[in-house]
Amino acid sequence: MSDKIIIFDTTLRDGEQSPGFSMNLQEKLEFAFQLKRLGVDVIEAGFPISSPGDFESVKAIAQQVDGPQICGLARAMDKDIDRCWEAVQHSKNPRIHTFIATSPIHVEKKLKKTQQEVREIAVNAVKRAKQYTDNVEFSTEDAARTGRDYICEVVEAVIDAGATTVNIPDTVGYSNPWEYGALIEYIFEKVPNVGQAIISVHCHNDLGLAVANSLAAARMGARQIECTINGIGERAGNASLEEVVMNIKTRRNFFPFHTDVNTEQIYPASRLLTRFTGISVQPNKAIVGANAFAHEAGIHQDGVLKERTTYEIMSPQSVGRSGNSMVLGKHSGRHAFVSRMKELGFALDDAALEKAFAAFKNLADLKKIIFDEDLLVIVDEQSRASDYARYNLEDIFIRIGQDKKPSASIRLRVDGDILEGSGTGDGALDAAFSVIKNLTNMEDAVLVDYHVGAVTRGTDALASVNITISAGGREAIGRGADTDVIRASIKAFINAINHCCFENGQVKPTEV
């Protein structure tokens, strides 16, 4: 048996479908290129039948991102499988991933089928997919709560039908390493044709054991692990790619495997995802959290200064953290700017670089010192000002007086036209948001969450604002940054409105 663990990244499918983590086509494509640089083996790019937007995203990734296998998800239904193939066929290495639930509660309550009927549906789905490609993955949804013998029946049947990868998901994060490892071991013992396929695992983190369960399964013979950057995904998330990979790399004596992941691209991938979603990882998050390599206790600092390995089992550089922060200012030139951008993991084309450098110079006129965090915001701002954004802020005027109701005048650009409006509110932002809702015909938008923070230190620091709005039965997150808090907040609100426009009509697939 090979000692290579196939890394199957589902950030753009399972991760992206969780609340607040949606991305537009341009962002998905850029993130897929980062996954290629990271060296993942398989990119699950989306669920093509779920919406026209998801189909186009999967298709674009399949057309433009070579190297990794490009995979699409499909229910065990002909129309899903056909639509999935339409999207992934453009890849040099396409994969169809189809699934059906196998646990008693799903079979009886959700599907209202018998176990025999489900097994037949699974086999027919694999055969349908096999007409398009030899690279077919099948998943037994909610496998951890399925009887072992029935799981083995289904696994044997779908391998006979042509599945080359069979996934055994812990869909609801119910299992533990001892139980889950024993299930994988049982499958290898009881399924006679198991050697004809790769056994994969897809673990959710509801009880905080997704990574542990995945690694336990690998020790029992699983050779593909499905995971996401920063561990994002449904509910409490999926197994964290960075934690899985660094466990294998750091503890080779215990996990005698290897991956093809370029670990120095882990931190850039994490930051890119944070930039696109506006949702940061907690400071104590393993591998990529702000405190992952921080030492505050005196005895720890003393030990690290004398010998790094006293308190660090891996180096920051091994996961792409430079260990230093270059300070730029208004006199810094293009070479220093470009160099730092590359060190931060950005691969900008000439046009994007020009815009980012111009924004850097503008910010340098307002701030004495530009930190790495400021550079991340600059690139983020440029991405939000890209062509996909329907509404763009042209100008604002806010009036606040001691005895007068706050008022706002807003000018937006949309499709080459200018929209203008004015109004009042209980406060400056209430007035501005009300005008924007009126101009964009989004009167039903409700502010759900609002966070503001300083990107760096000092009174001239950029203000970073994250806003969540609810409109049309769905939520969208907007992000904005500016040296002025009110402008940053208005930018974030418009960004959320743009996300609502992008997500309109998108439906959420059943999870695996």
Task: Pick out the residues of the known binding site for Mn(2+).
Answer: 14, 202, 204, 238
Residue 448, SS3 per DSSP = strand
Distance between CA atoms of 52 and 60, rounded to whole angstroms? 12
| Angstrom distance (rounded) from CA 143 to CA 122 | 14
**Cβ 72 vs Cβ 58: under 8 Å:** yes
Which residue(s) pair with 452 in the sheet? 465
Q: Give the span between the Cα atoms of 243 and 18, in whole angstroms.
A: 20
Instruction: Indicate the DSSP class of residue 93.
Output: S
Eight-class DSSP state of 206: T
φ, ψ of residue 371 in degrees (nearest 5): -95, 170
One-letter amino acid at 301 equals Q
Question: What gap in Å lies between CA 108 and CA 88, rounded to an integer?
Answer: 32
Cβ-based burial of 484 (10 A; exposed 0-12, middle 13-18, buried ≥19): middle
What's the rounded Cα separation, in Å, for the pair 452 and 455?
9
CB atoms within 10 A of CB 327: 12
The encoded tokens of residue 333 equal 């030139």
C-alpha distances in Å from residue 388, one per residue of 5, 28, 61, 348, 415: 37, 13, 17, 17, 11
In 3D space, the residue among 106, 109, 165 whose CA is nearest the CA of residue 135 turns out to be 165
The DSSP result for 371-436, as a single string, is -HHHHHHHHHHHHHTSTT-SEEEEEEEEE--SSS--EEEEEEEETTEEEEEEEE-SSHHHHHHHHH
**Would you call 368 helix, strand, or coil by DSSP?**
coil
Phi and psi at 461, nearest 5°, equal -65, 150
* Residue 456 CA to its chain's centroid (Å): 25
Residue among 231, 188, 224 at smallest CA distance from 210: 231
Smallest CA-to-CA distance from 381 within 289, 285, 487 is with 487
> Dmax of the chain from CA atoms?
82
Which residues sit in the known binding site? 14, 202, 204, 238
